[in-house]
Amino acid sequence: MVAGTPKLNVDSLRAWYGSEEVIHGISFDVRENEIFGIIGPAQSGKTTLLKIINRTLEFTTGSRMGGLVEMDGQDVYHIKDVYGYRRRVGMVAPLPVGLPLSIYDNVAFAPRSFGMKDGEELDGLVQKCLEQAALWDEVKDRLDSLGTKLSGGQQQRLTIARALSHQPEVLCLDEFSIAIDPVTTMKIEDVLKDLRKEMTIILVTNLVQQARRLADRTMFMLNGEVVEIGDTEPMFSGNAKQPKTNAFVSGDFG
Amino acid sequence: MNDSQRFTKTTFTQKKESREKWVKVLLFMVTLMMALPVILLVSFLVHKALPVLSLNFITDIPRDLMSAGGIWPAVLGTIYLVVLSLLVAAPVGVMAGIYLNEYAKDNWLTRIINLAVINLAGVPSIVHALFGLGAFVMFAGLGESVIAASLTLAVMTMPVVITSTREALSAVPMSFREASWNMGVSRWQTIRGVVLPNSISGILTGVILEVSRAAGETAPIMITGAAASITFRQGETVYYLLGEKFMALSYHLYYTSMGWKVPDKLPNPETGEMVPMTQAALEYAQAIPYGTAVVLLGVVLLFNSVSIAFRYYLRTHRKW
CATH number at residue B131: 1.10.3720.10
As a whole number of angstroms, the distance between CA A126 and CA A54 comes to: 23
As a whole number of angstroms, the distance between CA A52 and CA A58 comes to: 8
User: Is there a domain that residue B265 lies in?
Assistant: no
Determine the residue of chain A that is closest to B180 in CA distance.
A110
User: Is there a domain that residue B47 lies in?
Assistant: no
Which residues in chain A are closer than 8 Å to B178, comparing Cβ atoms? 56, 59, 93, 97
Q: Is A238 left (phi over 0), alpha (psi -120 to 50) or beta?
A: left
Question: Model confidence over A76-133: pLDDT tens digits?
Answer: 999 999 999 999 999 998 888 888 899 999 999 999 999 889 999 999 999 999 998 8
Number of domains in chain B: 1
Interchain proximity A113–B176, CB inside 8 Å: no
Interchain proximity B198–A100, CB inside 8 Å: yes
Complex confidence, ipTM: 0.86
As a whole number of angstroms, the distance between CA A188 and CA A163 comes to: 13
Q: 10 Å Cβ neighbour count for B165?
A: 26
User: Is there a domain that residue B199 lies in?
Assistant: yes
Determine the residue of chain B that is closest to A51 in CA distance.
B182
As a whole number of angstroms, the distance between CA B132 and CA B240 comes to: 19
As a whole number of angstroms, the distance between CA B222 and CA A9 comes to: 70
As a whole number of angstroms, the distance between CA A201 and CA A7 comes to: 10
Class of the domain covering A8-95+168-249:
alpha beta
Select the more confidently predicted residue: B49 or B264. Answer: B49
Question: Model confidence over B126-140: pLDDT tens digits?
Answer: 999 999 999 999 999
User: Is there a domain that residue B291 lies in?
Assistant: no
User: Is there a domain that residue B180 lies in?
Assistant: yes
Residue A205's nearest CA partner among A176, A230, A233 is A176
Nearest CB among A83, A93, A148 relative to B184 is that of A83
Say whether B229 sits in a helix, a strand or coil. Answer: coil
Nearest CB among B181, B183, B320 relative to A100 is that of B320
Interchain proximity B175–A56, CB inside 8 Å: no
User: Is there a domain that residue B248 lies in?
Assistant: no
Determine the residue of chain A that is closest to B193 in CA distance.
A109
The residues spanned by each domain of chain A are: 8-95+168-249
The parent domain of residue B187 ranges over 69-227+298-316
Query: Does B114 have pLDDT greater than 80?
Result: yes
Helix (H) or strand (E) holding A69: strand A63-71
CA distance B307 to chain A (A): 23
Question: Model confidence over A181-199: pLDDT tens digits?
Answer: 888 889 889 989 989 899 9
Nearest CB among B105, B106, B176 relative to A99 is that of B176
Radius of gyration of chain A (CA): 18
Nearest CB among B106, B175, B198 relative to A61 is that of B106
B66 neighbors B260 (Cβ within 8 angstroms): yes
Question: Model confidence over B285-317: pLDDT tens digits?
Answer: 888 899 999 999 998 888 888 888 877 887 777
User: Is there a domain that residue B25 lies in?
Assistant: no
As a whole number of angstroms, the distance between CA B40 and CA B55 comes to: 24
